[in-house]
Amino acid sequence: MNKVIFLDRDGVINMERGDYTWKPEDFEFTPNLFDALKHWSNKGFSYVVITNQGGIAKGLYGHQHVQALNSIVEERFAAEGLHLLDIYYSPYHSDFSKSLSRKPDSLMLEKAIHTYKIDGGRSYMIGDSKRDIIAAEKVGVPGILIEPNKSLMHILNEIK
């Protein structure tokens, strides 16, 4: 079975701006992200991005905008030699629609675990919100809560 690190997007992969990030010109990777990811990749981890994108439900941007940013992430991971299995996003927002895919619910993680035969007990979720950790815990994946926009270098040893 595969071991992965599930990554939230805004605040973990890219800088959280305090507003929705959906334009390529507003997308900026967090400091030292790829140094940390390469460290864990050398330990046999692959990656899955799990992100709420409630701005779609609010009508602020569309699926095509999220997919454009997903392409930036996919291309950079590939250029860095990192194995990104998939990117899952929930287009729902609790003010407009209900969905089990939106964190803190766990449907996105459940789909990834099933699709990629992931061993939840050997995997981790890194998020900058309690809802990320709650979603992971629902499927038996240990969560690591970080401050938004901080380098992941300080948690290198928390992932074995």
Q: Give the homologous superfamily in CATH for domain 7-153.
A: HAD superfamily/HAD-like (3.40.50.1000)
- In angstroms, the CA 124 to CA 6 distance is 6
Interatomic CA distance for residues 70 and 63, integer angstroms: 10
- Give the integer Cα–Cα distance in Å for 60 and 77: 27
pTM comes to 0.96
Instruction: Tell me the one-letter amino acid at 20.
Output: Y
Digits of tens for pLDDT over the chain (160 positions)? Answer: 899 999 999 999 999 998 899 999 999 999 999 999 999 999 999 999 999 999 999 999 999 999 999 999 999 999 999 999 999 999 988 878 778 789 999 999 999 999 999 999 999 999 999 999 999 999 999 999 999 999 999 999 999 8
Q: Which of the residues are catalytic? A: 8, 10
